[in-house]
Amino acid sequence: MVRENVEAMFDDFYNQLVLEEAQMIRRRGANGRIPVRTLDRGASSSATEPTGYPRGPYDTSLLVKYEHHVARHLWFGEERGPKKELKVAGHGLKLTSRVPLALPPQMESWVSRYGLSSLQRISLNKIDTNLVSAFMERWHPETSSFHMPFGEMSITLDDVSCLLHLPIRGIFWSPQDVTKEVAVELAVDYLGVSQGEAQSHVRSCRGSYYKLEWLYDLFVQHRAASSWAYATRAYLLMLVGSTIFADKTFTLVEARYLLLFTDLDKCSGYSWGATALVTLYRYLGDASMYSCKQLGGYPTLLQCWIHEYFPTVGKRGENWKPADNCGLPRAMRWSYRQGVLKVDDLRPILDELTPADVIWRPFEDHRAWRLFDEICLYRGCLKWGETVVPYLPDRCLRQFGYRQYVPSPPLDCMMATNIDVDWISYHQSVIAVIGPSTLATTPSNVEDGYLEWYYCVSHPRLVPPHRDDPREVPVPVYDARQSDPDWAHVSTLIHRYLRQVNAEEEDPQFADLFEALHISRSH
């Protein structure tokens, strides 16, 4: 009876929504497109309808790589392969055994000076590959953002600062090329190994790499011999190779990164936060292409970001509540819990998300330990080595407490020549980002015309709806007004009860209540 009442309530709500939206929004036609008219700033305008993709962007000026994107294939039921989820590996379990409870003071001072101490104990023991893969399918490298049903979101410098407690201010690094011969010499000079051992090891790696396990063994040997500089370099290289520099080999780290730690007494003040983002952005961009089946980078950063912003998606294990935090990196709040939902289960769930399902500013209760830095609103390119990615906070302004407007076209990083100068003079770009906006009156505020533009240039869904509906599907419009107080109270009561009984959404006995919760949040 409860389920019948909930279903009836939903049908009434849906029909009412369709009638209301018929008066206030344009509709997609039978071909999935919206008739063209003049759009807001940052969008292309044309008197004739451009060629696009079925149920994808019909204005292809933004997502220029969409032809090769996994989203285009998924709409037609084309999976990457037998395994729908990506191959994702975290080093959390290995780090648990490799990171000592306390470093010798001689080493700890150097690790702290580099600003990398937090990386020692924040990695998740395991990664929910299905959850991570489902979000990755919505990433677009052109915009450095996830394309959600209600607009764009991204992992920002502020997210990295709060989750990982890495410094975000600092310089970028442009390393020299490292051949196998140079990798051998670096190992001899800075890791304290013999010429023969270094040559044998680099040869076994089949390139300019070192094995993470080998670096750990060197750390143990040099620590026992009180060779602190050698021990610290081996330890730091193993640490960053297992976290922010993790690659698709899952076992190696590039030898050139040893150059970062040659002079331990003259730390150069690198922007490790930007480093983590550049590396993750790069691997997300690769993995968003249909032909790719692996995800590199630091998956702990991605999964903990999902846990913070999307409380109703996936399984989350909490080690402590934010109010009880004693200043630890926010990523340490989360622990791995095995989810039962697979990638194809999660796709329609993400398709149905609304702004009410997002905690738009999850770190406001963490500001006592990580103040907001306005450099997080810098709009420009970030670089690390030869990798350059666009960083575009104007595409996810709601995460910063501002009303979202139609953003400017993305940057062409191939044409960027003064990235270091732009980074130093970030104030100009911050003014350009927040100048056209205002503070949001509700967390999901968007300017008029934003959603209309967004559905022209992006894809509102990743998979076709399960039920056949002969009616045209209206583009969802989320009212910026405060929600109805009675419905908000109902939502709060349901959510409070579900938390008290530790209910899981996939549990059949709570299905009706979770459905009622989602309905109440829609009002």
pLDDT single digits (tens) 420-447: 999 999 999 999 999 999 998 887 789 9
**Short-list 332, 275, 240, CA closest to 157:** 275
Quote the longest CA-to-CA distance of the chain: 77
pLDDT single digits (tens) 49-74: 445 676 678 888 999 999 999 999 99
- 152 SS3 class: strand
Averaged pLDDT score across all residues of the chain: 84
Instruction: Answer yes or no: is pLDDT of 16 > 60.
Output: no
CA distances from 308 to 121, 186, 314, 359 (A): 18, 40, 11, 7
Predicted local distance difference test score (pLDDT) of residue 14? 36
CB burial of 307-317 (b: ≥16 within 10 Å; e: otherwise) equals bbbbebbbbbe
Lowest mean pLDDT among 115-119, 157-161, 315-319, 479-483: 479-483
How far is it, in rounded angstroms, from Cα 303 to Cα 133?
10
Answer yes or no: are the C-beta atoms of 175 and 208 closer than 8 Å. no
**Short-list 221, 154, 168, CA closest to 193:** 221
φ/ψ region of 77 (left if φ > 0, alpha if ψ in -120 to 50, else beta) reads: left
- Angle, alpha carbons 141-143-144 (nearest 5°): 60
Predicted local distance difference test score (pLDDT) of residue 174? 79
Read off the pLDDT band of 523 (50, 70, 90).
low
How far is it, in rounded angstroms, from Cα 352 to Cα 137?
15
